[in-house]
Chains A and B, each alone.
Chain A
Amino acid sequence: MHRFANPARFLRIAKPLTPALFWPGLVLTLVACIWGIFFTPTERLMGDTVKIIFVHVPAAWLGMGGWTGIAIASIVQLVWRHPLAGVSARAIAVPGATFAAICLITGSIWGRPTWGTWWVWDGRLTSMLVLFFLYLGYIALSNASSDKGDTSRVAAVFGIIGAINIPIINRSVIWWESQHQKASITLSGSSIDSAYLVPLFVAVAGFSLLFSALVLMRMRAALAEMRIEVRMRRMAED
């Protein structure tokens, strides 16, 4: 892991990897959306609103996956003092928050025709809203100071503590009575018909590749900004 601690070595890998993740991600996402909208059948109970699944579910998974990534990177940052771990955690925050917001908004839009309401304060929806606010808090905390030393350590601790919300979101539909349906995809199998399941996995793959490319772009921007700061300081000293 420490082989990649050198930012120069990381950049040698990240530069070709960014387009290699981005373009297949974009193509898969577009294919999944077109497939989902135009070539999937109408569902018996939910009608055509089932098509919202192709943006709602990948956004939800990546919103939660993003925070899991922040928590892992924060542990690596605090325990092994890996210089890129804090950078990667901060790079995940904005895409993670955006995907959590997409999940909440598309879920609300889906709720209106299927549940008859835009919002209910049940366990799943509320814990997902809490995740979105945790993202906002993390972004504010990591941007609080230009001196990234102590601030990023505080953000790392916040990232680890906030991870407690991830299993709560996952188990919320089991622990509490919920408007939201129970998990349709688990490790033991899926209750979703293959007509929806295959394009859903294509969408998840596409969104995940795009998410990874976005994180790499933001890491590259952060590393370049650090180089600019060091260079400016040197120029000021000369």
Chain B
Amino acid sequence: MPHAPFIIASFAVAGVGMTWLIVSSYLSMRRAEGFAAKLKDRP
């Protein structure tokens, strides 16, 4: 049984999972902090 597909699949799962986590966490942080700063400046 060739091992390469199993190795590629494992690293792909980890890569996709971590990329999703990083992008979603960063975007939600930027969006919330940006909106909070905008509201703070509003009179």
Contact = CB atoms under 8 A, between A and B. Distances in A.
Interface residues of A, number: 37
Contacts of A182: none
B7 A221 contact: no
A95 interface: yes
A115 B9 CA distance: 17
Where chain B touches its partner, the secondary structure class is helix
Contacts of A56: 10
* Chain B contact patch, size range: 20 to 34
B32 A47 contact: no
A81 interface: no
Contacts of A99: 17
Contacts of B6: 49, 52, 109-110, 112-113
A101 B13 CA distance: 9
A227 B37 CA distance: 9
Contact of A106 (B13, B29, B33, B36): B13
Interface in B1-43: 1, 3-4, 6-7, 9-11, 13-14, 17-18, 20-22, 25-26, 28-29, 31-33, 35-36, 39-40, 42
List 5 tightest A-B contacts by C-beta distance, closest first. A224-B32, A55-B14, A217-B25, A48-B3, A224-B36
Interface of A: 29, 33, 37, 47-49, 51-52, 55-56, 59, 94-95, 98-99, 101-102, 105-106, 109-110, 112-113, 210, 214, 217-218, 220-222, 224-225, 227-228, 231-232, 235
Interface of B: 1, 3-4, 6-7, 9-11, 13-14, 17-18, 20-22, 25-26, 28-29, 31-33, 35-36, 39-40, 42
